[in-house]
Structure 1
Amino acid sequence: MSLGILRLFRISIVFLLIQNLYAQVQTYDFDFIKKGEQDDNTLLLIGGIQGDEPGAFMAASLIATHYNIKKGSVWVIPNLNFYSIIKRSRGPYGDMNRKFAELSPKDPDFDTIQRIKKYIKAPEVKLILNLHDGSGYYRKEYINNLYSPRRWGQCSIIDQSNLDIPKYGNLEEISTKVVSSINQKLLDKKDIYNVKNTKTRQGDKEMEKTLTYFAINNKKAAFANEASKELPLHERVYYHLLAIEAYMDIMGIEYERKFEVSTTSIKNVIDHDIYISFYDEQIKLPLSKVRSILKYFPISKDGILEFTPSNPLMTIIKQGKEYVIHYGNRRLAKLHPDYIKVIKDERNINFLIDGEKRSVKLGDIIYAKDNFMIQPIDDLRVNIIGYVNKNIKSEVGVTVNKKEVQKRFSIDRNGDLFRIEFYKKDKFIGMVLLGFEK
């Protein structure tokens, strides 16, 4: 091997190592979502500063996706430390909630901190609420290791009693009102909320580094709400939502939501009202009961997977040869790629569903009771995943009965929802999902 080729080889190896290192340490930008009409009475709601607190970031995401702000303004950041959420870590680069005093520009979280500081200091923002899941149950007097002044769960946190600002400076009074509101709707007596004043300015060196104290020093009313890590996820979210609504009520922000604030409804929304779309909705994939592995999933030849999630806590990360769908700190499914050229096609597909004609858009999810037929399409090839009939050459113009589609090829664990893929010569144009109703 010549010296020139050897040098080029070494440069290539270094470049690949740098690429791999970057892939491991890359940051994930947080979402910034404005809701309601812009005004100077804005609530800034923050979740996900620590990735091991799912009640906090899940509650914030529900405000972003399932609440309509009818009067006033709410800015939502549901995934402030998105990388830590995906890694299921308090902070891969250290605790982000201890980086608001001094921070080196070389810190991997530096850009995120600078960006959130800009929103905190925005003149429109009058109240900041940072959501957390805390250990145990906070009590003003020691009972045992789980119920003590050193615990953080089930409390409303303030850094000081009052702040000399025009609006919402009566921090302790506001926090007391919120706690009183929550305590009227407890799921269990042990879940009682209390106000916890950290009295940060009196020398609490750790709390001096936090987001809320930075806000206080910038003349902004700031609070933290803690739900106990001893509670299941949907109960933590329940208490966070009660707190958020109490703050909105105090601020005169009017809202409506798409579900009842009950543990049953919250669990249903978190677990089932989730999906992801690909390639400008040419594919729509429900995720509530998705199989852990989907094989031969159509992905653009260049390896770029365009997707639109229904929830800001959702993303897709390429890991090795697979594409992994993440939802908060859950890994929902792995996509094994079938690399193919993807093109846009606007036409509708004509189906017979249980004998009735229906025009179906690519990306739609449809349901049949007993059978379906795809009417012939001159220039398209159709592949019904899980249907095998060696006696036919084409899968259009043939009535397909429920029993003829093999359940093991379904996209869901129940064996009810199947892929119908459409191709124009050797190019993929879209997918329809068909389910059989029970």
Structure 2
Amino acid sequence: MSALGGIVFLWLAGSAFASQSGLGFSVHTLASHVPGKTALIVGGIQGDEPGGFNAAALIATRYKIISGQVIVVPNLNFESIIKRSRGVYGDMNRKFDQVSKTDPERQIIDKIKSMITDPGVDFILNLHDGSGFFMPIRESDMRNPDRWGQSIIIDQARMPSKYSGLFCDLAAAARQCAADINTHVINSDDTVHVRNTRTAQGDAEMAKTLTFFAMKNEKPAFGIEASKSFPTPDRVYYHLLAIESFLKQAGIFFQRDFSLTNNEISKAIDKDIALTLGERRILLYAENIRKHIYFLPMEKDGELNFMGNNPLLALVHNESAFDLYHGNRCLSRLSPQYFEYDLGIDHLEIEIDGRKKQVPFGSRIQVKKQFLVHPIPDHRVNIIGYSKQDITDEAGVLITRNDCMQRFSIDRDGSIFRIEVYSQGKFNGMVLADFRPGNTTSDMVGTINDIK
């Protein structure tokens, strides 16, 4: 598996789980199979703007498109996102007019340009977090015509006269979006305005941007700027309001599995984030994960095989460990213990609250009270956090939550524990036992494929 600057990236096609591609950003195609317009949504072009890339990730993972199609790139400048930088190699949003052949980001720029100019794409939304609050008339240092936050950006009022497709009147579409947002502002001071940069009339900086490149190629494009004065969930709230307005104007209908409140958005950003490692035999939940996971059984001299269900997940190699990131937040450090892998078996038989189940490696079981792993000849079961004198193989032992030392759980609440299996010193696989309260089905078995 290749990496860029020590970062292991994830490339996803549609909603499938896949290993990393060299480009380092992910593409998610949300198709309805009902004819309609196609939107391209881009987040993370500048890595220090979490409102934009978290909003795009929510569209990619928690929205269902009912008509038309939405293509989402949530993490265009992934390395800069991880490093909390506007641009590790300079401002990526100033490279769409010209980019050097030696620029490390040239391949990324060429790829997103080809997506923008694809005949099937009808319009583009580029998500940003901007400073202060744009106001047509100066009110203060943070509220004036030189600020960018809380604005819908257009490069000109109308598309060229020969263009006859969607959003010919850019200004009207942007005004409608602003009006839709302003009926749902959290505070009256959060009002959104339209900012026309009139790029073709001499704005040299805006002439280098993604949206102006789209305009020159006869594709309507809008910049959406949430204010950096807000915490991330509030920024995401305003981004989603803007995105939904443009989708509705284009006749693209959708559903989402959370309510548009900053509290529900905050939960949705982190909900059910998970990853697999080691031939999909190790499953970890990133939500509420401990700051440090020790002795994770990784394959000696093998590829990492990192996969996840969220486009903002990445692993950064850090000396002898790996740092797990979600966007620009480091969630945990994973310290490996290296083993040879033995893939001779692929599941366990586990009795969960009195019911026997076959459980594949890389799965989670939900436990109300107790579980018991059935013995496997010539294999040893190690339940991390359980310790009893003179027991070396913990198969056949009835385990409750109170039998496990909480500090060895993978979550900060002390509820999720690792069941590891070994044979002759080689690692076979892992299952997670989840004792979290509120489990509705005591013997549920879940893998990363079951998590939206």
Give TM-score, length-normalised by structure 2: 0.88
Q: Which of 115, 118, 121 is the matching residue for 1:119?
A: 115
* 1:418 matched residue in structure 2: 417
* 1:310 matched residue in structure 2: 309
Indicate if the aligned counterparts of 1:28 and 1:82 stay in contact, CA closer than 8 A: no
1:57 Cα deviation from its structure 2 partner: 0.6
Instruction: Note if 1:35 corresponds to 2:30.
Output: yes
Q: Give the letter aligned to residue 202 of structure 2.
A: G
Instruction: Note if 1:73 corresponds to 2:72.
Output: no
* 1:97 matched residue in structure 2: 93
Q: Give the letter aligned to residue 45 of structure 1.
A: I
CA distance in 1, matches of 2:252, 2:171: 20
Task: Describe the superposition over 1:202-229 as per-residue Cα deviations: whole angstroms up to 9, x where unpaired.
Answer: 1111111111111111111110001011
* 1:9 matched residue in structure 2: none
1:418 Cα deviation from its structure 2 partner: 0.9
Q: Give the letter aligned to residue 29 of structure 1.
A: G
Task: Describe the superposition over 1:347-401 as per-residue Cα deviations: whole angstroms up to 9, x where unpaired.
Answer: 4322233444333222222233333221222232110111111133421112223
Which piece of structure 1 moves more, 188-197 or 316-325?
316-325
Matches within 5 A, 1:310-389: 310-345=309-344, 347-389=346-388
Task: Describe the superposition over 1:293-344 as per-residue Cα deviations: whole angstroms up to 9, x where unpaired.
Answer: 1111011111421121111111112221111211101111111111112243
Indicate if the aligned counterparts of 2:6 and 2:316 stay in contact, CA closer than 8 A: no
Task: Give the SS at the match of 1:107.
Answer: coil
Q: Give the letter aligned to residue 420 of structure 1.
A: I
Indicate if the aligned counterparts of 1:28 and 1:83 stay in contact, CA closer than 8 A: no
1:113 Cα deviation from its structure 2 partner: 1.0
CA distance in 2, matches of 1:74, 1:188: 30
Note closer, same or farther for the CA distance 1:129–1:284 as it changes in structure 2 (3 Å cut).
same
* 2:164 matched residue in structure 1: 166
CA distance in 2, matches of 1:349, 1:125: 47
Instruction: Note if 1:289 corresponds to 2:276.
Output: no
* 2:14 matched residue in structure 1: none
CA distance in 2, matches of 1:408, 1:172: 57
1:269 Cα deviation from its structure 2 partner: 1.1
1:120 Cα deviation from its structure 2 partner: 1.0
Q: Any unmatched runs of 5+ in structure 1?
A: 1-18
Q: Give the letter aligned to residue 195 of structure 2.
A: K
CA distance in 2, matches of 1:52, 1:85: 6
Q: Which has the higher helix share?
A: 1
CA distance in 2, matches of 1:323, 1:22: 13
Indicate if the aligned counterparts of 1:36 and 1:72 stay in contact, CA closer than 8 A: yes
Which piece of structure 1 moves more, 30-39 or 174-183?
30-39
Indicate if the aligned counterparts of 1:303 and 1:339 stay in contact, CA closer than 8 A: no
Task: Give the SS at the match of 2:242.
Answer: helix
Task: Give the SS at the match of 2:276.
Answer: strand
* 2:142 matched residue in structure 1: 146
CA distance in 2, matches of 1:212, 1:436: 49
- The CA RMSD over aligned residues, in Å, is 2.2
Task: Give the SS at the match of 1:125.
Answer: coil
Identity %: 43
Which piece of structure 1 moves more, 357-366 or 133-142?
357-366
Give the count of matched residue pairs: 420
Give TM-score, length-normalised by structure 1: 0.91
CA distance in 2, matches of 1:372, 1:42: 49
Instruction: Note if 1:48 corresponds to 2:20.
Output: no
CA distance in 1, matches of 2:376, 2:4: 48
* 2:450 matched residue in structure 1: none
CA distance in 2, matches of 1:182, 1:50: 23
* 1:6 matched residue in structure 2: none
Task: Give the SS at the match of 2:66.
Answer: strand
Q: Which of 133, 152, 156 is the matching residue for 1:156?
A: 152
Indicate if the aligned counterparts of 2:365 and 2:434 stay in contact, CA closer than 8 A: yes
Q: Give the letter aligned to residue 144 of structure 2.
A: S
Which piece of structure 1 moves more, 154-163 or 336-345?
336-345
Which piece of structure 1 moves more, 149-158 or 394-403?
394-403
1:404 Cα deviation from its structure 2 partner: 2.3
Note closer, same or farther for the CA distance 1:282–1:71 as it changes in structure 2 (3 Å cut).
same
Note closer, same or farther for the CA distance 1:20–1:65 as it changes in structure 2 (3 Å cut).
closer
CA distance in 1, matches of 2:216, 2:48: 27
CA distance in 1, matches of 2:244, 2:23: 29
Q: Give the letter aligned to residue 130 of structure 1.
A: N
Indicate if the aligned counterparts of 1:51 and 1:90 stay in contact, CA closer than 8 A: yes
Task: Give the SS at the match of 1:227.
Answer: strand
Indicate if the aligned counterparts of 1:40 and 1:126 stay in contact, CA closer than 8 A: no
* 2:278 matched residue in structure 1: 279
CA distance in 2, matches of 1:20, 1:324: 14
Q: Any unmatched runs of 5+ in structure 2?
A: 10-21, 438-452
Indicate if the aligned counterparts of 2:296 and 2:334 stay in contact, CA closer than 8 A: yes
* 1:404 matched residue in structure 2: 403
Q: Which of 45, 60, 64 is the matching residue for 1:64?
A: 60
1:290 Cα deviation from its structure 2 partner: 0.7
Q: Give the letter aligned to residue 166 of structure 1.
A: S
Q: Which of 112, 117, 124 is the matching residue for 1:128?
A: 124
Task: Describe the superposition over 1:75-131 as per-residue Cα deviations: whole angstroms up to 9, x where unpaired.
Answer: 111111111101110001111111111221111221111111111111111111100
Which runs of at least 4 in structure 1 moved beyond 6 Å after TM superposition? Answer: 19-22
